[in-house]
Structure 1
């Protein structure tokens, strides 16, 4: 596709071989705001998915919650997050107060590649590659202050499941355990 270009909002023309647009979700919060519910980058909720009006709950892409893995308020735009938050909200309504503290995880298929992510890698200060990039099967382990905070796995489903267990248990494998793929991470979970 030679000679292809896009024109930006400010009128600048950019030529490129490939153009990739990553478009996120803008939460529709006008109804909640009009009802007097506190909103900030979505609908603010507590650990039980309650809004500032205690008999109203919000889940999914619109719910801005404090996430213990990110250590800040965030909105998670994933199906699994919405499902997990719905379970927390329903349990709370039924009198079973269990806070939302699930490890965030995501997945996508890109043709023959299955990318699975566990945790939140923002703010990492070190990473370890486990596996061979050229094989198309590997994982990247992200650390912050020596604590495992996230794992991205490409075509390594079993390793993704282990990563979720490690993150939930707050277990951080050491360099030797990760660098050599001979070590079975199930042994430390």
Structure 2
């Protein structure tokens, strides 16, 4: 049972209504997560701005989706794990084995594996990482800009993971349950 209301687009006006109309145009619907965010137009605007900015960054969508899956698994966010697994498979066309590997911050693709390992070290270390972690990422060809984008994607994913965990958001995606840790 949700602990925060999921506000329907028909219940808002002004700038918030315009933002939700844009979400619906881009996504085909307003996801329940966004309906929860609508409780705070400031959070909704911030999420949209950061999400939009990162989608124009150097990390390709398939990598960003894998990072989101790994973060959702680590943070035990069933909603985000379900949503990003669906989007990664259906939109980014990532195969099932790679989706499952991403849950453990792994990939058969060496570049994606390096970025996932970096992200995993950052989230587990709460932002503090040993110099060898950065050296390993750089040795795999990860640029300084990409390192910063990994941190940005983590911030975005932690926001949504934590909000969904607090709100117990109704999951409208095909269910993917986090592994027991």
Greater share of residues in helix? 2
- Report TM bin, short chain: under 0.3
Greater share of residues in strand? 1
Normalising by the residue count of structure 1, what TM-score does the alignment of the two structures yield?
A: 0.27
Normalising by the residue count of structure 2, what TM-score does the alignment of the two structures yield?
A: 0.28
Bigger relative contact order (CA 8 A; separation at least 6): 2
